[in-house]
């Protein structure tokens, strides 16, 4: 995709799953990538694997505003500009609200911290740069759960509804700054995200859906959607890509 070539893209949550697949896809399409995640060894291994491409990394936690500011500055120091930031880091804790003991409430707090504040911190760190540049593209990982609510997922769905609203706010606030805003909302995807559910019954159900390959997307499928969004002309704003397995009901 020639429209992606030489674009400088920050990707959070890049050490596995959709983030890792997107790093590969965009790097192979000619983009300059700065990866970020908490697991530095995985990032280092991915950089070595993609040594022929323009891939750098900086360890960071999206729940830390200072980490996100350092990530943005690191990218500017390396490449001199930021064309896009993919706010991909997220977790998926699930369970009945009625079971909200102290441990469960801690799960909900983590979901808000990572899924909502993680995006907000990235926006707060990077938007001033894009406003100054007068160009940029913010892309956030959302979910089908940001469009419908289902049992045992109220808090998770709430975080994804919030991301959807926040990113629409970015679009409206920066129409005159040439900053575009997009979200990607997939259904079930075969990734490590299942490990953050924290409820054995729900994990078993999701695992069953993933094992039936016709009912889940792959990380590569979602990476292709991100690449499509980034390949569009500056005059086009793809507000959202809502995607599911063609065989899945939800």
Would you please indicate which residues are annotated as catalytic (active-site) residues? 156
Contact 96, 143 (CB under 8 A): no
Burial of 178 (0-12, 13-18, 19+ CB in 10 A): middle
Q: Which helix (H) or strand (E) holds 186?
A: strand 179-186
Q: Which helix (H) or strand (E) holds 141?
A: strand 136-141
Task: Please name every residue paired with 138 in a beta bridge, in sequence order, or none if there are none.
Answer: 85, 181
Give me 150's structure tokens: 């289902």
Give me 194's structure tokens: 């299942």
Give me 61's structure tokens: 């936690």
Q: How far, in Å, CA of 78 to CA of 56, rounded?
A: 9
């Amino acid at each position: 995709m020639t429209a992606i070539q030489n674009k400088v893209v920050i990707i959070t949550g890049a050490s596995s799953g959709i983030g890792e697949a997107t790093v590969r896809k965009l790097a192979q399409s000619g983009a300059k990538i700065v990866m970020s995640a908490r697991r530095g060894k995985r990032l280092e291994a991915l950089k070595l694997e993609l040594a022929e491409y323009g891939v750098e990394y900086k360890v960071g936690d999206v729940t830390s505003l200072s980490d996100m500011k350092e990530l943005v500055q690191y990218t500017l120091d390396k490449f001199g500009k930021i064309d896009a930031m993919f706010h991909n880091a997220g977790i998926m804790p699930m369970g009945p609200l009625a079971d909200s003991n102290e441990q469960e409430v801690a799960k909900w707090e983590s979901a808000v911290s990572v899924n909502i504040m993680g995006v907000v911190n990235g926006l707060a760190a990077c938007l001033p740069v894009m406003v100054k540049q007068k160009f940029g593209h913010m892309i956030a990982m959302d979910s089908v759960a940001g469009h419908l609510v289902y049992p045992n997922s109220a808090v998770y769905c709430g975080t994804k509804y919030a991301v959807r609203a926040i990113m629409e706010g970015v679009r409206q606030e920066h129409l005159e700054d040439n900053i575009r805003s997009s979200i990607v909302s997939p259904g079930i995807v075969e990734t490590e995200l299942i490990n953050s559910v924290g409820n054995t019954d729900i994990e078993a159900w999701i695992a069953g859906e993933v094992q039936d390959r016709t009912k889940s997307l792959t990380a590569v499928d979602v990476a292709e959607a991100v690449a499509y969004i980034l390949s569009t002309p500056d005059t086009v704003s793809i507000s959202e890509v809502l995607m599911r397995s063609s065989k899945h009901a939800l």
